[in-house]
Amino acid sequence: MSGNGPVPILGDGGGDRSARPQVRAKGEGGVDLSRVSYKELVAEMIRRLGEDPDREGLRRTPERVERAMQFLTQGYGLEPEEVVGDALFEERHHNMVMVKDIEMYSLCEHHLLPFFGKVHVAYIPDGHIMGLSKVARLVEVFARRLQVQERLTEEIAQSVWEVVHPQGVGVVVEAFHLCMMMRGVEKQNSTTITSAMRGSFLEDARTREEFLHLAVSAHRSPS
């Protein structure tokens, strides 16, 4: 306990929990943890790491962690259609639209540690294009969740496919994984690259090559 009066049962860190999946807590040995506040859980974690959650520098840490984690997982409360809204415009040209170097920060679901990097999204319109800033918003919908990079890549591609109904879509994600880097599992500067395609990007080798060429040159340009 922090000694600052009673700890509320439910955290007051803000954020809309109603949209999040509600999972019943079941601790080890059937202990019900569902009524323990988020702050208390974080304080207990700090204790188990051999630290004192009541010392000066850590006193407000549980509260900060709760707020940070809610922010970093706010994608659970967002839907792709909602984020794009009415930012779909009629467009008759069928040239590739590409948004490069979208910044991405996510949390690996195996270690709850960050992975981060760049996302490149391209599609060939079939009557509609999406507002450019909305592509970045779509990335956030899925990046701000507990993720693995492969699924994140697929989910971004699928959401463009379903929202814009293009002839084809391609997504490349290049990311650094702190869970590997900090534990020395991987060389410090190696990135993991994943891609996902739909429609003409799968069927037409030239489209796919054009996209990958643009994505790779984006990777090499200074940012």
Task: Work out whether 148 is an interface residue with Zn ion (CB under 5 A).
Answer: no
Active site residue 79: no
Task: Work out whether 179 is an interface residue with Zn ion (CB under 5 A).
Answer: yes
Nearer to Zn ion, 12 or 150 (CB): 150
Nearer to Zn ion, 112 or 216 (CB): 112
- Catalytic option among 91, 111, 128, 210: 111
Extract the tokens encoding 4: 């600052």
- Can you tell me which residue has the tokens 């807590």? 25
- Catalytic option among 149, 154, 155, 167: 149
Active site residue 213: no
Shortest distance (Å) from residue 206 CB to Zn ion: 36
Task: Work out whether 41 is an interface residue with Zn ion (CB under 5 A).
Answer: no
Contact pattern for Zn ion over residues 82 through 121, marking x by CB under 5 A: --------------------------x-xx----------
Active site residue 74: no
Shortest distance (Å) from residue 109 CB to Zn ion: 7
Nearer to Zn ion, 108 or 122 (CB): 108
Q: Rule CB under 5 A: which residues touch Zn ion?
A: 108, 110-111, 179
Q: Provide the annotated active-site residues.
A: 108-111, 149, 177, 179
